[in-house]
């Protein structure tokens, strides 16, 4: 996997990337496009060596699978928080029990955001045919939307492995309740400043 991913283009221009996702009919409407774009790239280049998607445990389906299940994650390196949400606690534990390990492929990106006029956001909204119901509801509440990422530069890919020994070193995150009032299942999270117990390999892009 590593030699293949090392050949990825590190420069992801927002409009071109979203149009590429639209052409592939793959999650192009999503606001947080960089994570889905990374997944699309991985699906393309790894399709002959890995299975997409991976196993499904309960309501959780992992992104890909070889000899173990892997999740794909992206993280903006200039974010205020170094904490990265991983996946469902019970599903990861089951995956570790069944295969001995569970993997994460983490793309670290240096990102740029749209200008004060939000021209990128307006372009994306027009491409989708207008604001979604969620966006219209937010406008009615006069809630300010987040700035959109307009460009990402892939700086590093981390290969993290979770096993029965280091599973206990992960943080546990509880995320309140779903819209139906039921509590959301807890998820594991990881502080990227403390990855040594999990780091298996890495790719650095120059």
Q: How many CB atoms lie within 10 A of CB 117?
A: 8
pTM of the model: 0.88
Distance CA 119, CA 125 (A): 10
- 139 versus 131: the higher-pLDDT residue is 131
Q: What is the pLDDT of residues 66-78, one digit of tens each?
A: 999 999 999 998 7
Res 179 pLDDT > 90: no
What 3-state class would DSSP assign to 121?
helix
110 band by pLDDT with thresholds 50, 70 and 90? very high
How far from the centroid of its chain's Cα atoms is residue 143's Cα?
25
Q: Which two tokens stand for residue 61?
A: 């389906």
């Amino acid at each position: 996997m590593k030699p293949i991913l090392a050949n990825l283009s590190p420069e992801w221009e927002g409009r071109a990337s979203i149009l590429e996702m639209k052409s592939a009919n793959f999650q192009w409407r999503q606001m947080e496009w960089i994570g889905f774009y990374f997944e699309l790239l991985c699906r393309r280049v790894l399709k002959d060596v890995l299975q997409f998607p991976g196993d499904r445990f309960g309501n959780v389906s992992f992104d890909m699978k070889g000899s173990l299940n892997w999740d794909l994650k992206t993280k903006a390196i200039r974010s205020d928080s170094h904490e990265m949400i991983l996946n469902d606690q019970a599903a990861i534990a089951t995956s570790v029990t069944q295969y001995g390990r569970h993997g994460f492929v983490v793309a670290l990106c240096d990102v740029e955001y749209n200008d004060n006029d939000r021209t990128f956001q307006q372009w994306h909204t027009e491409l989708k045919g207008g604001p979604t119901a969620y966006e219209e509801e937010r406008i009615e509440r006069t809630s300010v939307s987040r700035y959109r990422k307009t460009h990402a530069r892939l700086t590093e890919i981390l290969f993290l492995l979770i096993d029965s020994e280091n599973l206990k070193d992960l943080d546990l995150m509880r995320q309140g309740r779903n819209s139906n009032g039921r509590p959301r299942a807890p998820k594991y999270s990881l502080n990227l400043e403390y990855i040594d117990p999990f780091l298996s390999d890495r790719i650095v892009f120059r």
